[in-house]
Amino acid sequence: MIDKIKGLLKETEEFRVKSAEELEHFRLKYLSKKGEISQLFGDFKNVPNEIKKEVGQEINKLKQFAQEKFDQFKESLEDADSESSSADLTRQGEPIELGSRHPISLVRNEIISIFNRLGFNVNEGPEIEDDWHVFSALNFPPEHPARDMQDTFFIEKDPDILLRTHTSSVQVRVMENQKPPIRSIFPGRVFRNEAISARAHCIFHQVEGLYVAENVSFADLKQTLMYFAKEMFGEQTQIRLRPSYFPFTEPSAEMDVSCSICGGKGCNVCKYTGWLEILGCGMVDPNVLDKCGIDSEKYTGFAFGMGIERIAMLKYQVKDLRLYFENDVRFLKQFKSAY
């Protein structure tokens, strides 16, 4: 009996399996109920007592070996199987899904591109600023409400360090560091201590514009802004300038564009006025030029500032500002553009 077991052990050792049928053959021959090993167990009762222990151990060894061998064969067949079936080399690759730019970036890039065509370059300034660049150099009187804690996020007091509330601060930095002619725009983030709602946010984006040279006039400002409005909202767009007040410009104005949704007839977006306010502007106050080291006897300039969210809302008819900050891909996916 021992010899038979040893013979079977040798047989199983040498057994090779190349297919599922051969594997099944192995199983039937050695491991099934009617297989060799079961038969050995059947014959075990006839083994003389003196060698029962030794024979029992040998049968168990054989059984364990055959089972391991079977498992190995099975695993290697499965591996070979999955490799050959999944590697379909003729299959097309997954297309890479293209993202879309954030609408605020799109509108910012479009604004930059429009002003580039008029010869404006781009400058940037810091978001964390001092009182001088945000307020004092821009003629804000000490008691001006914009300086109030209610509007401004202060980081330090005395001397005041704060988050800029407008990109007009970059005007000051550029005038302090560059000589006229200056023809530049300044896009960037600004911060105001406001409750978040559909129409207001504590973080938003502005683009500021500045042109300082000899003989810059209000007519130049109007012409520049009209070009911008038509490029941004369409050739049929009309503009309207209303007198206004800003500490750093004199005279100052606010600009409306004819409502691109109803074409000026009146709708709920323009509140039935036919006009939409989009920016503030004016001639740079000579005081501001002087404070920034530019000779106001020789040079004049105009400036303007607009909110990117506001323009994006009008362009894309988005009614809730908060959508721009939530990063919901269902919203963002809708914006595809050349910019």
- Phi/psi region, residue 119 (left: phi>0; alpha: psi -120 to 50; beta: rest), is left
State how far the Cα of 194 lies from the Cα of 181, in Å rounded to an integer: 37
In order of 57, 96, 167, 207, 305, the CA distances from 310 in angstroms are 86, 33, 15, 11, 12
Is residue 249 near ligand DAH by the rule CB under 6 A?
Answer: yes
Query: Omega before 251 cis (within 30°)?
Result: yes
Is residue 281 near ligand DAH by the rule CB under 6 A?
Answer: yes
Is residue 304 near ligand DAH by the rule CB under 6 A?
Answer: yes
Binding region for ligand DAH (CB under 6 A) out of 48-56, 106-114, 126-134, 279-287: 279-287
Residue 93 CB, nearest distance to ligand DAH (Å)? 49
Sheet of strand 161-163: strand arrangement: 128-130, 161-163, 154-156
Residue 281 CB, nearest distance to ligand DAH (Å)? 5
70 or 248: CB nearest ligand DAH: 248
State how far the Cα of 301 lies from the Cα of 217, in Å rounded to an integer: 7
Binding region for ligand DAH (CB under 6 A) out of 31-39, 214-222, 234-242, 298-306: 298-306
Of residues 8, 111, 174, 303, which one binds ligand DAH by CB under 6 A? 303
Binding region for ligand DAH (CB under 6 A) out of 59-67, 109-117, 269-277, 278-286: 278-286
- Interaction pattern, residues 190-219, with ligand DAH; x per rule: CB under 6 A: ------------------x-----------
Is residue 228 near ligand DAH by the rule CB under 6 A?
Answer: no
Of residues 12, 123, 152, 168, which one binds ligand DAH by CB under 6 A? 168
Binding region for ligand DAH (CB under 6 A) out of 76-84, 122-130, 228-236, 280-288: 280-288
Amino acid letter, 257 = V
5 or 221: CB nearest ligand DAH: 221
State how far the Cα of 140 lies from the Cα of 147, in Å rounded to an integer: 8
* Residue among 178, 98, 165, 109 at smallest CA distance from 138: 165
Amino acid letter, 263 = G
125 or 282: CB nearest ligand DAH: 282
| Phi, psi of 263, rounded to the nearest 5 degrees | 70, 20
Binding region for ligand DAH (CB under 6 A) out of 15-23, 103-111, 193-201, 303-311: 303-311
| Phi, psi of 239, rounded to the nearest 5 degrees | -120, 160
Site for ligand DAH in 35-64 (CB under 6 A): none
Is residue 308 near ligand DAH by the rule CB under 6 A?
Answer: no
State how far the Cα of 245 lies from the Cα of 250, in Å rounded to an integer: 8
- Interaction pattern, residues 310-339, with ligand DAH; x per rule: CB under 6 A: ------------------------------
118 or 267: CB nearest ligand DAH: 118
Binding region for ligand DAH (CB under 6 A) out of 30-38, 40-48, 230-238, 274-282: 274-282
Size of the site for ligand DAH (CB under 6 A): 11
22 or 127: CB nearest ligand DAH: 127
Residue 168 CB, nearest distance to ligand DAH (Å)? 4
Residues that bind ligand DAH (CB under 6 A): 166, 168, 208, 246, 249, 280-282, 303-305
